[in-house]
Structure 1
Amino acid sequence: TDGAQDCCLLTVDKKIPQNWVKSYYIQTQVAGCRLPATVFVTKKGKHLCAPPATKNNWVKKLINQLNKKNRKTSK
């Protein structure tokens, strides 16, 4: 293998509705990707690349909402 990963090549600063999203993960340069990003996974399985939460307020809010929702369902 050549170590290629599934990385976001660009991010889109378009607000994603919370009811579309089931989870998220953070893409980092440490993991071998060039661009730091927040990747939201939709209920249909699509991966949407958004800016890092530190650079964007709606991303931070959506992450907080998902974390709260996941805490409630894990109890």
Structure 2
Amino acid sequence: MITLSHRKRGVADLKFIKSENKSVPEICAVYKRKNLLKDGYKKTAKTNLFLAEMCLEADNEALSACEEKLTECE
């Protein structure tokens, strides 16, 4: 079996251990799939952050407009 561990620099360090019915290509495929998922989640997080900031800005503008109208009524 091959285990993949990361150093602080992000470089994969392959350590060879006795196999448990998994081939090197299978393990590499799992590693690649995990990295693809990780990258996808990072992109989704950036999109979610952008949308949250945009909605917060719109909420603040709406609140300011409401407060302005309330002060006009007084």
| TM-score normalised over the length of structure 2 | 0.35
| TM-score normalised over the length of structure 1 | 0.35
Structure whose CA Rg is larger: 2
Q: Which has the higher contact order (CA 8 A, sep 6+)?
A: 1
Greater fraction of residues in helix: 2
Greater fraction of residues in strand: 1
